[in-house]
Chain A
Amino acid sequence: MSASSTQALDYLESLPGVDHKKLYQLPSTVLAVFRRLLPHLAKTIVAAMLYMPGPLAATDLDAWIRPDAKAEKEQAVTLLQGLHILSIDQEIPSKPVYRLSPIFAKSLRQALTGGGNHRSFGIPCNTPETEKKDITFLDDYARQQWEAILYYMVASTGAGLRSAAEISTGTKILLSTGNFVTNKNSRVSITQVGFTFLLQEVNAQIWSLLVVYLNNAKSLQMEHVDIISFLFMLGSLELGQDYSAENLTPTQKHMLDDLNDFGIVYRPSPSSPVFYPTRLATTLTSDGSALSNTSLSSTPTSAPAAGKGYIIIETNYRLYAYTSSVLQIAVLNLFTKLKTRYPNLVAGQLTKSSVQRAIGYGITSDQIISYLATHAHPQMAKSNPVLPPTVVDQIRLWQIEGDRMKATHGYLLKEFGSKDEYADAVAYAGNLGVLVWKNDVKRVFFVNRIEQMKTYMTNKAAAVKKGKD
């Protein structure tokens, strides 16, 4: 799964069950969750149970899953339970059964087979062909708006950057609420979070911003369930088609203005009854790339040629970038010591201090490496591996040198009664994927999340108590 879907998933998991119930009433939301957010095993489980008349016995589910994939099964089931898609019923303690949420199942069946009058997939308008906006126009609009936001963020790092389009005050406030930029002495400067944000791919960037938007919704008196179902609906719309804004709730109408500012939707005029989803919207819940890499080029009219790279790195850590885009140069400047700039080329060098400075900002070596690899010049991309191994290794070494200790937040569990109790708990934590460190001799272990472990311990303690009675 890509980074973008993880963010949406984390947000969704943090919502209470009541919100999930409301969300799952719309087929478009359910379909988006199903096809985009769930890992494959979870999809398989849901799909298998979708048309089942009754609940599924836990032993039957275990029989389906190969014994060596037990860890994956635990993770999938935990996730489905967290999203309130699957619930476990322990009326008869010896025979627990799994039940698919009826609301979720009904909506998913409706989404897959059609029917119903839910209108959750948008209502197309029938504007005459001549007045319609074409896809090229929408792409340009989306790119221009989104780049304006990125420009605004990096403008603080280098002089001489000028923005192509102005962004609204609302968006500026949102960026500082999300801690992407800070306002110090009325000067905007970028933060660690902002740097990480910049190096992400566009789809992940959009979700990062939207999650901030969602968290911020309460203060704007907006209903976050409305927002998220609208976002999922946008993901199912068709590019180049115009949709009616008349049936939307007040919250969603308000959102249109904000999304228009991000370049996620386009409205011909602020009071227009129609809106067009742009490519940024239609890829919200799909794997497709929102804007190709060239989107960061300074000429907004450049054709979106797929993944045209511009960076060359030599084994002596020298870096040449064929670009005249101020935004790209600013990004490179985060981790490179730039020396010369020509009309279509900048030259510089990766040095220990430049890379460690970037790491100090909160950028990881892997982010730098993946940025360099994805934007490698076609000539570089021909070789395998794309980047010189010495350079990759050195960047990693510089990072390790910078942080000599690895810190993980979480909980230390200790004082287990017996060896078996300890072994069971460790095995369970391992299957959940939360185990970070263990010491079998001292019978202690460390987990990065405690919620599931707590339930497990309580159940276990109850079972032991029962056994004694």
Chain B
Amino acid sequence: MVRATKGVLVQCDASIKAIILKIDAGNSDFIIEELDDETLLVKENKLKELQMLLKKQLDDTLKYPEESDSD
């Protein structure tokens, strides 16, 4: 029998997926199902929180060059 699951489909790079998995490992509350290397099914009410955590993680790890104001 066919089953339908409500949720949010998240499509991203493999690298981003790895970070999401890492976040989820901390408190496994976000992911409903891993679909493939670049796709995940996430709980609807947790999306905002996940986006926030992901952004924080990226900001911490990636450093962007400072913008020059002079030109």
Determine whether B24 belongs to the interface, using a CB cutoff of 8 Å to chain A.
no
Q: Bound state CA distance, A106 and B53, in angstroms?
A: 57
Q: Bound state CA distance, A144 and B33, in angstroms?
A: 53
A203 → chain B closest CB, angstroms: 32
Residues of B within 8 A of A413 (CB): 2-5
Determine whether A103 belongs to the interface, using a CB cutoff of 8 Å to chain B.
no
A395 → chain B closest CB, angstroms: 15
Q: Mark A409-432, 1 if CB is under 8 A from B, else 0.
A: 111111111000100010000000
Can you give 28 contacting A-B residue pairs, CB < 8 Å? A352-B67, A404-B13, A404-B16, A405-B10, A405-B12, A405-B20, A405-B54, A406-B10, A406-B11, A406-B12, A407-B9, A407-B10, A407-B51, A408-B8, A409-B7, A410-B7, A410-B8, A410-B9, A411-B7, A412-B5, A412-B33, A413-B5, A415-B1, A417-B2, A437-B35, A439-B39, A442-B36, A450-B4
* Interface set, chain B 4-30, CB cutoff 8 A to A: 4-13, 16, 20
A348 → chain B closest CB, angstroms: 12
* B33 adjacent to A416 (CB under 8 Å): no
A397 → chain B closest CB, angstroms: 13
Cβ-closest chain B residue relative to A441: B36
Residues of B within 8 A of A415 (CB): 1-3
Cβ-closest chain B residue relative to A353: B67
Determine whether A298 belongs to the interface, using a CB cutoff of 8 Å to chain B.
no
Cβ-closest chain A residue relative to B5: A412
Residues of A within 8 A of B51 (CB): 403, 405, 407
A96 → chain B closest CB, angstroms: 23
* B11 adjacent to A442 (CB under 8 Å): no
Residues of A within 8 A of B3 (CB): 413-415
Residue of B4, B32, B44, B67 most packed against chain A (CB within 10 A): B4
Q: Which 6 A-B pairs have the closest CB atoms?
A: A405-B12, A406-B11, A412-B5, A408-B9, A411-B4, A446-B9
Residues of A within 8 A of B6 (CB): 410-411
Q: If A414-B2, A414-B3 touch, does A409 touch B44 (CB 8 Å cutoff)?
A: yes
B interface, over-half SS: strand
Residue from the list A406, A414, A453 in contact with B5, Cβ < 8 A:
A414
Number of A-B contacts (CB under 8 A): 82
Residues of B within 8 A of A174 (CB): none
State how many residues of chain B have any CB contact under 8 Å with chain A: 30
* A411 adjacent to B39 (CB under 8 Å): no
* B35 adjacent to A439 (CB under 8 Å): yes
Residues of B within 8 A of A351 (CB): 67
Residues of B within 8 A of A454 (CB): 4
* B8 adjacent to A439 (CB under 8 Å): no
Q: Bound state CA distance, A78 and B22, in angstroms?
A: 42
* B4 adjacent to A412 (CB under 8 Å): yes
Q: Bound state CA distance, A463 and B66, in angstroms?
A: 64
A466 → chain B closest CB, angstroms: 17
Residue from the list B11, B42, B44 in contact with A437, Cβ < 8 A:
B11
Residues of A within 8 A of B33 (CB): 412
Other A-B contacts than A409-B7, A411-B5, A442-B36, 14 sampled, CB-CB below 8 A, are A351-B67, A352-B64, A404-B12, A405-B16, A405-B20, A407-B47, A408-B8, A408-B11, A409-B44, A413-B4, A414-B3, A439-B36, A453-B4, A454-B4
A352 → chain B closest CB, angstroms: 6
Q: Bound state CA distance, A403 and B10, in angstroms?
A: 11
Residues of B within 8 A of A417 (CB): 1-2
Q: Bound state CA distance, A353 and B11, in angstroms?
A: 25
Q: Mark A312-353, 1 if CB is under 8 A from B, else 0.
A: 000010000000000000000000000000000000000111
Cβ-closest chain B residue relative to A422: B2
B43 → chain A closest CB, angstroms: 11
